[in-house]
Every structure is written in C-alpha cells, then in structure tokens.
Structure 1
Amino acid sequence: MADTRIKKARRPLIVFLTILVIAAITLGVGSYLGKASWKPKLALDLEGGTQLVLTPTATEGKVAKDGRTEVTNEDLNQAIDIIRQRVDASGVSEAEITSQGGQNIVVSLPGKPSEETLNLVRKSAVMVFRSVLRDSHQVAAVSPKAFEEQAKQLAVTPEGPQKPEETAQRLAALKQAEELSKLTPEEIATRLADENHDGKISDAPVSAPKDNSDPAWITEKTLYDFYLLDCSDPTKLNDNRIEPDDKAIAACGSEGHSKYILSPVDIQGSEIKNATAGLEHSGPNGATTGQWEVVLEFNSKGTDQFTQVSQRLFNLKATDPVRSRFAIMLDGVVISAPSMNAVISGGSAQITGNFNSKSATALANQLKFGSLPLTFKVESEQQISATLGSDHLQKGLWAGLIGLLLVIVYLAWSYHGLALVALGSLLMAAISTYLAVVLLGWQMGYRLSLPGVTGLIISIGITADSFIVYFERIRDEVRDGANLVNAVETGWEHAKKTILISDAVNILAAVILYVLAVGGVQGFAFTLGLTTLIDLAVIFMFTHPILVMLLKVPFFGEGRKWSGFDAETLGATPTIYAGRGRVRAPHERRSIADRRAERKNEAESANEEEAN
C-alpha cells in the first residue's frame, strides 16, 4: 500500500521536473541560435523604447474654420483603440498609447520594435477597391495624335461645345502632359516651378459614365496627374494620401514601377468583416504554392457589392483584359491588381503579392481592426529612455528578496523541518515563473514592467499560503486522531479544494483586471494570473508528492523533534501503525536491545500460557 502511494506521488513530480527541463533546453537552444535571450524582456518603464507622435492631417469634411483638422474625442478614442489592437496583435506588450492635447496621439513602444510593428502605427490602413481603367503600358503608348482626338472629345460637354480658346488651352495642356512624360522628375519640377497650369485642365467627366469601368471617368486632370506621377519616388508610396471616392485617380503600385488610372471607389474597406494571413493554395488537391496571401471576408453588404463588381469585370475579360482588373488600394497605393477570372459570390477575396509571413500578418491585422477614423502623419519618431529605470527594478527585486526571507523565517519558526518543503516549493515556483516569462517574451513579445514585478512578488505569498493551507489541514487530521499517513492523504483531499477555490478567485480577478484595464495594470494582472497557475502546478505536482515521499524518511515519518511532524508542531501526538494491532507515537524510538527484550517477554508469556 505504501509503495503504491509513493508511485502515485512520484509520477506528477517526474512530469513537473521534465517540463522544467524541456523549457530550459528550449530556451538554451533559442539562445544558442541567437533567437532568444536568457534575460526577460523589459517594458517601457524599465528599458525605454520608441515614441511616435501622430498628428491628424486635413481631409475633406474634417477641416475647422481655423484651418486645423477637426478632431472629436470619439475619433481620437477610436483611433487609440484601433492602434492598440494592432500593436497587441503584433505581439508587443506593455505599449503606451495616449492622446496629447486632445489633438495628437502618442504611441510609445518598448525596446526596439520591428519595422512591421512600426508600420502598424504609421499606416492609416484606409482600404478601398477600385476598377482599373488603364495601366502604365496602355497610357504610355498614347501618341500626340491620340491626344488631339481626346482633346476634341473633351471639348464637347453636356452643355454643348466648348469655346475655341478653351479647347486650345486643353489641347495645349494635354500636349504638355505628353511632353512632360518624357522628362526626368527633376526636369518636371523645374518646368512646374516656372509655369502655372491652374484653370487649364478639366477635372470633370466628358459625359455621364455608364458604370465604374467606363473610360469616360478619365479626365484631363487624371491624365495630367498620371504623367506627373513618379512611382520610383519612395515618398509617393508612403504619403498616406486620401483620394476622393467619387472620381477617377492616378495611383502607383506598391512595388514602385507600375501605375494605374483607377475608377471611383467600388467597395469601401469598412465592408471587410475579417482578414487572415496564410499560405496560398492552388490546384484540385489544395497544395500550397509557398506564397503568402491575405484572405478577406466581406460582410453582407460588401458581399453583394463584390458579386456585382466581379460580374462586371469578368464580362470585360474577353474584350478588354486591362479593364477586367480589380485594384486593391491601401493608404493610396495599389497593393494588388488581379484580373477577375470568375464571378465571386461568396464574399471572400484573396490579396496576393510579394508577401512573407510577417508582412502578410501585419496587413491582415491592419485590415481586421479597421481603418483609422482620421488620417495621421508621423510628426516625430524618436528613442526615449526608461521612465523608471533599473534603479526602480533593483528596489523592486530587493523588496521581493526581503519578503521571501521573512516568509522563510516565519515558515521555519512555525513548521520547523517542513519549511524545507515550503522553500523547495517557492524555488520551483520561482524557476517556473522565470522560464515562463522568458519564453513568453521570446515567443509572444511579453515584457516585464514594474507592476508585473509587483505581481511576481505577490506570488511568494500565494505559494506560501497554499503550503500553509495544506499543512494546517494535516494538523487538523492529527488532532482528530489520525495517523501521519492518513493525515497527509485526508488533509490533502480537504486542502486541495480550498486551494483551488482560492486560486480560482485570484485568476478571476486577474482576468477581469486584464480585460478592463490597460498599460501597467494589465501587466500586473497578467503576472498575477500566470503565477497563480504556476502555484497550482507546484502544489499539485511538487508539494504534495514531496510530502508523501518524506513520510518514508525516518526523520519526518517518525515525527522526530524539529521535523515538523513532531507532537509540539502538530498540537497532538500522531500515531503510526506498528503491526499486530498496535500503534505507537512516531517519536517513541526504541533501541534494538529494547525491541529484543520486548519480543523475549512476549515469547515467554506465550510459553507460559501454553504450559498452563
């Protein structure tokens, strides 16, 4: 029976120690490969990081009378929530995102964030879907004669023929646009510095377009903008410009060497219900191509719109392949312009391009959490020092060490030798917590803040409290007359219920704090919940098994003085089954001569009874 109990106690102990060894080996391999560090990642208050100040830029309908961008508290709070969701989804924790002066947004990211994470903050993620009217190959081949024909067509409007002088001005503008297309960006800039084209180029369609694929949307200004658009200039790909939804526009491709003339907006990005990143599948067997893609899911309204657009573009595929293309625009740049190869009615679309795992995930996060309610530009981006620094961290660690020593002194005074079990439990909890924090920092970007350190210090009391509850239950059983073996088993059955309830309350409080709070309070809640879970693992897989196994050690099992199982500590004299229907107190140790004399007396008594 005793051997069975030992085996049952040994199994969870072996599993627990094996998990710790595997975690340590994993971290060691990651450190050797240069992907991980043995040091926990620190948050903004302890390490510093990167700070970005975002300023809203003027857009139509958002400009106040004084010329500044009109910003409401609702817009600002919505933007902060979206940016926080993006940053959290990228795996960065302990970021600080606040408003400044009711106008700007300050984003502080701990450590050295990746470029993908910074882009999640920089980009507005305004997505729209437009039809392709012409691309760079088509328009670049237009001859001067074609420009004259286009000018004659543009000279006729619903109001009647234009005046001859106006037609001449338009024709001159078109010819000049064609000439400018042959110049370098520097030469174009010089020409524009000397000439003023205001009032010469029309921005109105010649006639009412039939649909968004109708070339009638192309105006003189559209062509003019197209020829002056230099997509090799990086600023053209990062200016986050917002174009009018109801007009044709000229836009660059994200790769920097293609440009398009696009129709008015077909579908708004706000109609996207979800976005996920994954490997592209093709063929009847669904084999992966090795290329990353972003899959969009539209809501019901977007699904209806996308069905109609795909039908229109698919009908153009045979007669005009260019106009059968569908441009997906993000922050004013075409990130993909695929051909419509079928009518899509399921409300799902794929974005493909030069994606990798990180860029596809970043784009999916941007789209999934929506566009910002305002267009922002990065006013400043700079490195900032720690707000508290290593000095406060050292003080926090000293406070934890002092608290640990006081707990150890109390346990040694109250429970004597059994304090070693409590100390071992605290050591296992500390090692487990350290490995968990470092591994989470490596795999999920978790960072330890000063409130998080506070949560770790509180865990000392949580682990010690679980041991005390367990031992006091054992003491109650001994007072009721149970022997040590039964007291440990029965006490555990009662204690584990109390421990589970107590830790469940802590976990519930941690979850509520984490969900409702932000910033440092979230860090405290996370470490509180993490260490409570670790406490459960330690008490079930280490503390209880060790106590069961200690009963096989004479110093503890026989309840010797200062063992913690002695009569003085337990408050009663526990008994141990001694065989032949007898019990004895564990501290009643007898010499070999005494035991021999007792057996001799028993034999003589038996002989006398037989003789009689």
Structure 2
Amino acid sequence: MAAPKKGRGPSGGQGRPGRTLALILIAMAALTGAMFWSGDTTPRLGIDLAGGTTITLKASPEPGQSQSAVNQTNMATAVGIIERRVNGLGVSEAEVQTQGEENIIVNIPKGVDEEQARKQVGTTAQLYFRPVLNVAGSEPAQPTPSGSPSPSGSASPSKSPAPGASAGGDKADPPAAGAPSPSTTAQGRPVPAGLQKAPSPKASPSTAPSGAPSAPTTPGATTPAPDAKLQQQFTALNCADDKQRGKVGKARPQDSVVACSKNSSGQWEKYLLGPAELNGKDVDDAKGVIDQQSGQWIVQMDFTNEGSKKFQKITSKLSQQPSPQNQFGIVLDGEVASAPYVRETLSARAQISGNFTQQSAQDLGNILSYGALPLTFREESVTTVTAALGGEQLRAGLIAGAIGLALVIIYLVAYYRGLALIAILSLLASAVLTYTLMSLLGPAIGFALNLPAVCGAIVAIGITADSFIVYFERIRDEIREGRTLRPAVERGWPRARRTILVSDFVSFLAAAVLFIVTVGKVQGFAFTLGLTTLLDVVVVFLFTKPLMTLLARTKFFGGGHPWSGLDPKRLGVKPPLRRSRRVSAPIDPKEA
C-alpha cells in the first residue's frame, strides 16, 4: 500500500499551504498597488458622509397613460433629462440613477443650493422651438478675409443632446433628389415633408462673418435683431469649454438665447436663437418611423390644436427666409437637439427627414414626445447633510467599529490565547481586501461608502470572527477526542468548512435579497454586507486554513503550550485508561 504524500492530511487537506498563502498575499499586494496607481487611495464617500443632498423621486404615469408607461425605456429617458438638468447647475460628480423599477435617486454633492436643485430635478424639462438666427463653429469666431464663415460638417440628429443642423449660406441648398416627399400614413392622411435636416453650410461672399450674428432683414422676419451684448456673447462663446457651455441657454422663453450642439462628426457648434415660438407641451406625439417611399428613417410629429396654429404661423414665416434663418432649433434644456430647415408651411402634422439611423430617429422622437419628463415624478424624500455633520457621522461610525473590533480581539485573546494571533491576522487580511476593493469600486462602478455601508462593514467583523471560532472549536473537539494537533487541524477542517459555507451563504442570500428589494441608502448596507461575506470565504479558505496548517507544525502550537489555546489539559483531555484483567466476582446462588 502506497504511503500518503508528505504534508497532505487524511481529509484532503492542503499539501502546500505556503503556496496558498503566497497566492493571497500576492493578490493583496496587487490590489494595493492598483489602488495607489489609480490615485483613489480612500473610498469614495456618500452624500451622508461627505455632505450634500439626496433626492428620491418616485415615478408614476402621466394622466391618460397606463401603468406600463413606467418602464425601463422611459426611466432611462428621464434619467438622461434629469442628469442634464443637474449638470446645468454646474455640479461636479453628481449621480443620477434608477433604483428598482419606479425610483430615481439624485445625489448632489455639497455646495449646491438645495431649493434650486429640487426645482431642477423634479420639474418638467423645458423643450422649446426657437427660430435660428445664426450658426457657427464651436471656437470663438474670427472673421476671415473673405467674410465667409468657416464651414462645419453637416449635422445629423443623434443621442440627446444632438444637433440637427449647421448652415451658413445665404440660401438653403435644395433638397437632394432622394429626399423624402410627402407620404401617406397608415391612416391614409398625407404627411407634409416640409422639415429636413439642414445640409452642410456653404460659404457665400454675401454671408456675414460667423462672429457677427445677422438678424433676419427680409419681410416677414420672425424676430428683431438681438442686442449687442448677446451678439458679443455669441462671438466669444466656445462650446468646447464645459464651463462656458454650462452657462448658456438659461433664458426666458421670450428672450433670444445662445445655445450649443454637437454635430455628427463630434464637433461642437453654437447657435444664436430667437424667442421661443412653441414649447414641448404643444407637441402631442412624435416617433421615429421608416418612410415607406424612401426606406429611410424619419421623425413624425403631431401637434395639439393650439400647437398646430403656432406651428403653422412660424413655418409660414421661416419658409420665406434665407439660410440659416429658415431653420428652427429644437432646444431641450438649453442645448439644441435638432435644427431642421423649413421648406413649406406646415400645421398639425410634419416630419423631419435626413440621414437618421434607427436609434437617432427614435431618440429625437423621444425628445419631442417628452418635452416634459416622460413620467410624473414626486419627491419621496429629500435629505441634506452638511459636511460637518457628515464628518461627525463618519467619526462616530469609525469609533463604533473600533470598539467592536477591540471587544472581539479581547474575547479572542482571553478565550483562545495563542489562536487569537491567527484570528487577528485573518481580520487584518480581510480589512486590507475590503479597503482596497472599496477604494477601487468607487471610480469603477460609482460605489460610495455611506453610513449604512459603514454599519455593514462593522457587522461583517462579527461574521468573519464567527468563521474563525467555528474552525477553532472543531480543532479543539478533535483534540478532546485524544488526537494530536496536526491530525486535528486536518480532520476538523471538512466539518468546519461545511458549517462556514452554509453560514456565509445564508448571510449573502440575505444581503442579496435586501439589495434587490430596497432602495436608497439601505442598498449600501446590503452591498457592503454581501461583499464582506464573500471576502470572509476567501480569507478563511486561502489565509486562515493554510496559516493554521503551518503553525500546527511549530513547537508552540503543536506541543500544546499552555498559552497556545490548544493545551490538552485546559481542554479537559484525560489520559487513556490502562486495560486490566477483570476478576470475576462469585455469583451467589439464588434461592428457588
């Protein structure tokens, strides 16, 4: 019969525990190095610790909509609109995300007025139709010797915010031969094809420099010339600068305004726009569809009764203007989503044609349909935390964690003595893995350590210590049965392993359910609890067990030193009794 390999226990223990320890130590070093390399050496703090405002919005259908309107598509559209609105406040590192099926969480860092933030995220997004007075490239315009504007690439609507047009000539280019013509809908009604994405601008000797906006001068002009201050703002505007772009577009509907957009080639363009002629409430419905005649994607718009009258009036005027004054900008929250030009007078129904893809046509249709947010949102809760209060909460959480950890260590030292060293080293390994992962998950997935998450980390100390206790007690049970330490370490591991896995599985399952069914800050507690539970399994299997195997080979632990925590006398192990021959006792005869 072949002898068992050296170092391998009778229960399938690890034959080379040193390699396993080296593996987890290398992983810890790699995570620590990645943390320092990324520059994020501390976990990202949540609003309740760093200070700021958290707004929880609950979605419900618009009047006349069914509950099915609260779906993933509409929620994603709402998140995009609200995110643009929050960014319009000049907020950095703001977070807008869905939680569950009906909630949107808006986290705004400190330094932002709470009342202004609440108005921005909870109110209807503003969609306006404004006539275009001038278009230019994104850089501050400089007049060329010929007086012609620098041409920019043709624009095509894309994901919001997306441009619709860029034109700089005196006259709109005629539509291409393949441009969609009036078509018939499924209901049999003709659809006017009076709107088309503006072509690429062409230089013209008579065109004013792009830095000097020119107002319409022909009869039927829709707006008066903008004032000199707005003209200077348009000339100096650089849409490629985030700070400058964040300050434009904030004007009353009756005022002229400058706005930015990005064309199909990814270049920023700036627009000078007149007062709003329509708003998002005038659009009854809009959607991206395929033109049956051309096979191209187009966007169909239906207006309300009041919107039809306004649209007919503005398109009648714009169709008589030269380019770019024959365009109107569809402006969502201060950015131009599209800027088609008008070829004829339109009223109740119109279509926008151009080089649309399916996605860009559907995105523009969503923008037009949801000039307001696609759903109604009401505030479920608004929480504002100052930086000072957040710092106090963080300190209180850390103190509570330190007290809990100290009590656990005191108990381990008092009861397990030398075995407490293994438990403390395992807790340190778990702490290093938890800290580095939390620091890396901040920039990776946006994880922020809030106060409930700190509570989850504190609870995890007890869960991790419980795993050590289970293993230690199994070893001590084996010693009580008369085995020496090295066989006891290997024989106690299979039973301890089974108990640890079942316990951690129940803990992780509870964390997963809590993460799924809750919203808000409670999810931070559930996420941290689940993460630390997984790390507990890693540490016990790859650190505690091999470390215990190595220390069992030392004289201090293997010899059962009184301070090792494995002293047979302290564990109540009695020496085996000597076997002796029994003397049979005489049996008294029984009486009959």
Question: What band does the TM-score fall into relative to the shorter chain?
Answer: 0.5 to 0.7
- Closer/same/farther in 2, CA of residues 466 and 141 from structure 1, 3 Å limit: same
Separation of aligned partners in 2, 1:342 and 1:141: 21
Separation of aligned partners in 1, 2:128 and 2:21: 54
Q: Which residue of 1 aligns with 2:47?
A: 44
Q: In the comparison of the two structures, how many residue pairs are matched? A: 410
**Which residues of structure 2 form unaligned runs of 5+?**
130-156, 173-188, 197-218, 238-244, 262-268, 299-322, 341-351, 577-592
Does 1:211 pair with 2:191? Answer: yes
Q: Which residue of 2 aligns with 1:237?
A: 249
1:470 Cα deviation (Å)? 1.0
1:453 Cα deviation (Å)? 1.4
- Closer/same/farther in 2, CA of residues 392 and 348 from structure 1, 3 Å limit: closer
Does the Cα contact within 8 Å between 2:82 and 2:96 map onto a contact in 1?
no
Give deviations 1:285-322, integer Å, cap 9, x for gaps. xxxxxxxxxxxxxxxxx67x1354963679xxxxxx99
Q: Which residue of 2 aligns with 1:386?
A: 387
Separation of aligned partners in 2, 1:10 and 1:119: 60
1:385 Cα deviation (Å)? 1.7
Q: Which residue of 1 aligns with 2:213?
A: none
Separation of aligned partners in 1, 2:367 and 2:543: 45
1:382 Cα deviation (Å)? 13
- Closer/same/farther in 2, CA of residues 536 and 106 from structure 1, 3 Å limit: closer
Q: Which residue of 3, 10, 14 corresponds with 2:18? A: 10
- Closer/same/farther in 2, CA of residues 568 and 465 from structure 1, 3 Å limit: farther
Structure-to-structure mapping, 1:330-349, within 5 angstroms? 330-331=332-333, 333-335=335-337, 347-349=358-360
- Closer/same/farther in 2, CA of residues 384 and 212 from structure 1, 3 Å limit: farther
Q: Any idea what SS the aligned residue of 1:213 has?
A: coil
Separation of aligned partners in 2, 1:401 and 1:512: 28
Q: Any idea what SS the aligned residue of 2:108 has?
A: strand
1:520 Cα deviation (Å)? 2.4
1:467 Cα deviation (Å)? 0.3
Separation of aligned partners in 1, 2:502 and 2:81: 33
1:469 Cα deviation (Å)? 0.8
Give deviations 1:158-208, integer Å, cap 9, x for gaps. xxxxxxxxxxxxxxxxxxxxxxxxxxxxxxxxxxxxxxxxxxxxxxxxxxx
- Closer/same/farther in 2, CA of residues 12 and 474 from structure 1, 3 Å limit: same
Q: TM-score, normalising length from structure 2?
A: 0.54
Give deviations 1:367-403, integer Å, cap 9, x for gaps. 9x99723699xxxx99962373322322222222221
Structure-to-structure mapping, 1:401-416, within 5 angstroms? 401-416=402-417
User: Which amino acid is the alignment partner of residue 211 of structure 1?
Assistant: V
**Which residues of structure 1 form unaligned runs of 5+?**
55-59, 63-71, 99-104, 143-208, 217-221, 243-249, 272-301, 315-320, 353-362, 576-612
Q: Which residue of 1 aligns with 2:543?
A: 542
Q: Which residue of 2 aligns with 1:256?
A: 270
Q: Any idea what SS the aligned residue of 1:237 has?
A: coil
Does the Cα contact within 8 Å between 1:437 and 1:446 map onto a contact in 2?
yes
1:7 Cα deviation (Å)? 4.8
1:329 Cα deviation (Å)? 6.7
Structure-to-structure mapping, 1:273-292, within 5 angstroms? none
Larger radius of gyration: 1
Does 1:311 pair with 2:325? Answer: no
1:549 Cα deviation (Å)? 0.7
Separation of aligned partners in 1, 2:398 and 2:487: 40
Q: TM-score, normalising length from structure 1?
A: 0.52
**Higher normalized helix content (fraction of residues):** 1
Separation of aligned partners in 2, 1:134 and 1:390: 49
Separation of aligned partners in 1, 2:293 and 2:399: 66
Does the Cα contact within 8 Å between 2:330 and 2:336 map onto a contact in 1?
yes
- Closer/same/farther in 2, CA of residues 97 and 334 from structure 1, 3 Å limit: closer
1:514 Cα deviation (Å)? 1.7
Does the Cα contact within 8 Å between 1:126 and 1:331 map onto a contact in 2?
yes
Q: Which residue of 2 aligns with 1:22?
A: 30
User: Which amino acid is the alignment partner of residue 372 of structure 1?
Assistant: L
Structure-to-structure mapping, 1:73-88, within 5 angstroms? 82-83=78-79
Separation of aligned partners in 2, 1:437 and 1:454: 14
Give deviations 1:314-370, integer Å, cap 9, x for gaps. 9xxxxxx99xx99987557434579978796xx444999xxxxxxxxxx9x999x99
User: Which amino acid is the alignment partner of residue 48 of structure 2?
Assistant: D
1:478 Cα deviation (Å)? 3.1
